Structure 1
C-alpha cells in the first residue's frame, strides 16, 4: 500500500449566489482577479467562475441566477467547511477591518493566534472567511510550514501551551543554521559588546 502524495491545493470550489454577487465579492472585496469563466460542465444551468487568490492557484465559484445572496450561518456539522482563510500582508491586514466595516460587514477580531493575526467575517452567503497575516517570513529556501513544524517542536520542548513569537524566532534561527553554510567553526551566540 502506498500514499497518494499531494503537492499543494489545486483549487477550492464553492457554491456561490448569482454571477454578479460572486464577482463583486471575490474580486470587488477580496481583490482576487477574475481569470476564467465557463459553464459548470456537470450542470449547464450554472456558471463556473475562477479567481486567483494571489498565489496563482484558484478559487472557483458555481453560480446560478436563481440563487440570490442570503447571509445565513452555514452548518457546522462534522465534515462541513468551518471557514476558509486567505493570507494578506501586514500592510493590508492593518486596513482590512476598516475597509470591511465601511461596507457594513460585521468583523470579528483581530485575534492573536501567536504565530499570526486574524480577522473573520462572513461572505454574502454566510461562509466564514478569515484574513490571516503571518508574524514572520520564512528564511530563504524554507516555507511557512517549515517554520511552523520547527516552532511546534520548540513549543513542545518548552512545555508551552501554544506557539508564540519566541518559538518562531528560535525556529527561524535553527532553520538558517541547518540550511545555510558558514565558514565559522562555532556559530553559537556571541557578545561583542563586552567591556574593554
Structure 2
C-alpha cells in the first residue's frame, strides 16, 4: 500500500486572466499583493503544445501565491454557465473586523462594488469581482475556539447526512441564530 504525500502548503493557485498586466496592477493596487515572478513561453512545457502564454505570480502573504495565465490564442474567457457566480471564488483572510471594514472602504475607493459584510456565524466576509470576473472574498474570523471545535466535531455528521438527503443538515444551526451578537 502506498502512502499519501505529506503536503507542506499550496505552492500556488492559478486562474486565467484577460490581461496579465491589468490583473497584476489590480491585485497590487486593490489587495496590496506583491508581484514576484513571470514565466512566458511559446510552447507549453508540460504538453509541448504551441500556445503562447504569460504566467504571473503574486505573493498574497504567509507563503501563499496566486497566479494567472494570459492565453492570447485561446477562445475568450468564459465561466461554467451551470455554476452560480457566487460558488467559485478566491477567499483571503484579514486580521479582524476593523481590517475587513477598512478593506471594504479601500476596495470601494478603487471603483469596485462590494457586497457585505455578510455574517457566516464564525466569520464575516465581503465580496467583489476582479477585472477578469473572478469573485474575491475577504474574510475575518470571529468565532471562538469552542465554536470551531464544535464545527470540526459535526463536520463528518453533516457530510454523511448531506450525502444521504441533499438537504442542509441542522447540526450547526446555532451559527445563524444571532449573527450580530
TM bin, normalised by shorter chain, reads 0.5 to 0.7
* 160 and 110 in structure 1: CA distance in 2 versus 1, 3 angstrom threshold: same
* 118 and 105 in structure 1: CA distance in 2 versus 1, 3 angstrom threshold: same
2:124 aligned with 1:112, yes or no? Answer: no
Which residue of structure 2 lines up, in the alignment, with residue 86 of structure 1? Answer: 92
Structure (1/2) with the larger strand percentage: 2
The number of residue pairs the alignment matches comes to 153
Which residue of structure 2 lines up, in the alignment, with residue 129 of structure 1? Answer: 136
2:145 aligned with 1:151, yes or no? Answer: no
CA contact (8 A) 1:32 1:54 kept: yes
RMSD of the TM alignment (CA)?
Answer: 3.6
CA contact (8 A) 2:14 2:66 kept: yes
Of 155, 161, 170, the match for 2:173:
161
Higher relative contact order (CA 8 A, sep 6+): 2
Report the Cα offset of residue 97 of structure 1: 1.5
Inter-partner Cα distance in structure 2 for 1:137 and 1:48 = 40
Higher Cα Rg, which structure: 1
Unaligned runs of 5+ in 1: 139-145, 165-196
Report the Cα offset of residue 112 of structure 1: 0.5
Instruction: Please identify runs of 4+ aligned residues in structure 1 that moved more than 6 A.
Output: none
Report the Cα offset of residue 111 of structure 1: 0.3
Which residue of structure 2 lines up, in the alignment, with residue 75 of structure 1? Answer: 80
CA contact (8 A) 1:11 1:57 kept: yes
* 107 and 6 in structure 1: CA distance in 2 versus 1, 3 angstrom threshold: farther
2:39 aligned with 1:38, yes or no? Answer: yes
Which residue of structure 1 lines up, in the alignment, with residue 109 of structure 2? Answer: 102
Inter-partner Cα distance in structure 1 for 2:6 and 2:90 = 19
Inter-partner Cα distance in structure 1 for 2:125 and 2:134 = 16
CA contact (8 A) 2:56 2:68 kept: yes
